[in-house]
């Protein structure tokens, strides 16, 4: 187990290097630059001022030199100053906003997992009944509606009409409810569909019929055989889901005025904020790699036949 863990962490290094290189190439191949007066959200700059700023930020150097400098600074957790928010460093922005996005993403992930697995199991155990149809309807609705549409509908219904929850902010637990449900509903629907399909496959397997023939109760069969084995395919998607919603959501954070990292990443794309883009992409890569590693370790817990050699 320890050897497998170390090997996976070592392989994470070339993965991040490849991700950084591809992102760097794509950024510089895209028309425009942080100093381009035609770039969105950028103030017109004189050619002389553009030249001075390019020298200050090292944008006048050859691309291999720029990439090497970035890697060296990244090893020291220094991603430089944001080109868009010139008085703030990328590390400072990430340090202030990532915990908020992570907290929101964690609550949404917990809501999605608990709700999705519950709906999926209920639908599978009551196939072709009204419970199954209701669960499938909720899952279809969650997948079909974008989270910004859900967020606006929730604001109109629960904040403005019923006044149950605050409309915007991130100060109290009451502020967390609507953003959590909004961000997690789509993921809940995906997990519910995966769970239902997996549980139905397990229910029809020979060893489940054998277990029931031996006289085991339905609850024992469900806990010992169906649920544990049925969750293995579901666990596969949990890592990418958590990495996606745990690093920020632009639309949800904008709708509810949450001071998270999502909006900084989106605005950095439009303003060609290279340092911010590279910093967030690497953070997402590390987060995704760690989540996939945790998922692989969970396989061994769910299925003792899996060994890490």
Domain end among 71, 90, 109? 90
Q: Are residues 37 and 126 in the same domain?
A: no
Report the pLDDT value the prediction gives residue 285, as an integer from 0 to 100.
Answer: 83
What pLDDT, on the 0 to 100 scale, is given for residue 36? 63
β-pair partners for 89:
81
Asked if residue 209 is part of any domain, the answer here is: yes
Tokens of 137: 């309807």
Task: Flag residues of the chain having pLDDT under 70.
Answer: 1, 32-47, 49-50, 53, 57, 207-208, 211-212, 214-220, 222-225, 300-309
Name residues whose C-beta falls within 8 Å of residue 27's C-beta, 6 or more positions apart in sequence: 272, 274, 277, 278
Same domain, 125 and 241: yes
Q: Distance between CA atoms of 83 and 43, rounded to whole angstroms?
A: 12
CB 274 within 8 A of CB 20: no
Torsional sign, CA 291, 296, 301, 302: positive
Q: Are residue 64 and residue 100 in the same domain, yes or no?
A: no
Radius of gyration of the chain (CA): 24
User: What pLDDT sits at residue 305?
Assistant: 63
Residue 71, in any domain of the structure: yes
Separation between Cα atoms, residue 108 and residue 266, nearest integer Å: 20
The tens digit of pLDDT for each residue in 177-191 reads: 889 998 888 889 888
**3-class secondary structure per residue, the chain:** CHHHHHHHHHHHHHHHHHHHHHHHHHHHHCCCCCCCCCCCCCCCCCHHHHHHHHHHHCCCCCHHHHHHHHHHHHHCCCCCECCCCCCCEHHHHHHHHHHHHHHHHHHHHHHHHHHHHHHHHHHHHCCCCHHHHHHHHHHHHHHHCCHHHHHHHHHHHHHHHCCCCCCCCCCCHHHHHHHHHHHHHHHHHHHHHHHHHHHHHHHCCHHHHHHHHCCCCHHHHHHHHHHHHHHHHHHHHHHHHHHHHHCCCHHHHHHCCCCCCHHHHHHHHHCCCHHHHHHHHHHHHHHHHHHHHHHHHHHHHHCCCCCCC
Domain end: 40, 58, 90, which one?
90
Tell which of 90, 125, 146 closes a domain. Answer: 90
Q: 235-261 pLDDT, tens per residue?
A: 888 888 888 888 777 788 888 888 888
Structural domain including 248 reads: 93-302
Distance CA 91, CA 79 (A): 6
What's the CA gap between 231 and 63, in Å, rounded?
Answer: 46
One domain for residues 98 and 58: no
Q: What was the pLDDT predicted at 308?
A: 57
Would residue 308 count as lying in a domain?
Answer: no
Give the total number of structural domains in the chain: 2
157 and 221 belong to one structural domain: yes
Q: What would the two tokens of residue 248 be? A: 């920020």
**Could you tell me if residue 135 is inside a domain?**
yes
> Each residue of 11-49: pLDDT tens digit?
888 888 888 888 888 887 777 666 664 545 555 566 676
- And the tokens for 264? 């900084």
Q: Are residues 175 and 283 in the same domain?
A: yes
pLDDT at 66: 82
In a domain, 307, yes or no: no
Cα distances from 145 to residues 120, 185, 186, 297, in angstroms, run: 19, 9, 8, 33
Same domain, 122 and 254: yes
Look up the pTM and report it: 0.80
Q: What is the pLDDT of residue 110?
A: 92
Listed in sequence order, the residues at least 6 apart from 227 whose beta carbon sits closer than 8 Å to its beta carbon are: 121, 199
């Amino acid at each position: 187990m320890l050897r497998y863990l170390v090997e996976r962490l070592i392989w994470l290094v070339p993965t991040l290097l490849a991700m950084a290189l591809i992102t760097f190439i794509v950024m510089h191949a895209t028309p425009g630059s942080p100093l381009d007066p035609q770039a969105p959200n950028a103030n017109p700059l004189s050619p002389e001022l553009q030249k001075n700023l390019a020298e200050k930020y090292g944008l006048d150097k050859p691309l291999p030199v720029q990439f090497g400098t970035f890697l060296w600074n990244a090893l020291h957790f220094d991603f430089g100053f944001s080109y868009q928010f010139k008085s703030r460093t990328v590390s400072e922005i990430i340090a202030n906003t990532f915990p908020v996005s992570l907290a929101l993403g964690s609550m949404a992930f917990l809501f999605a997992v608990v709700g999705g697995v519950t709906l999926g199991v209920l639908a599978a155990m009551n196939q072709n009944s009204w419970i199954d149809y209701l669960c499938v309807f909720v899952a279809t609705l969650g997948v079909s509606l974008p989270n910004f549409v859900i967020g606006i509908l929730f604001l109109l219904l629960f904040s403005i009409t019923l006044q149950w929850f605050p409309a915007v902010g991130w100060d109290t637990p009451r502020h967390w409810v609507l953003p959590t449900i909004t961000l997690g509903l789509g993921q809940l629907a995906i997990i519910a569909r995966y769970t239902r399909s997996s549980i139905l496959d397990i229910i029809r397997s020979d060893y489940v019929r054998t277990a029931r023939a031996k006289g085991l109760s339905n609850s024992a069969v469900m806990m010992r055989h169906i649920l544990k084995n049925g969750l293995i395919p579901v666990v596969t998607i949990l890592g990418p889901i958590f990495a996606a919603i745990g690093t920020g959501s632009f639309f949800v954070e904008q709708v509810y005025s949450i001071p998270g990292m999502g909006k900084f990443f989106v605005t950095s794309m439009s303003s060609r904020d290279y340092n911010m883009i590279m910093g967030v992409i690497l953070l997402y890569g590390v987060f995704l790699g760690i989540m996939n590693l945790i998922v692989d370790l969970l396989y061994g817990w769910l299925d003792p036949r899996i060994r890490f050699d």
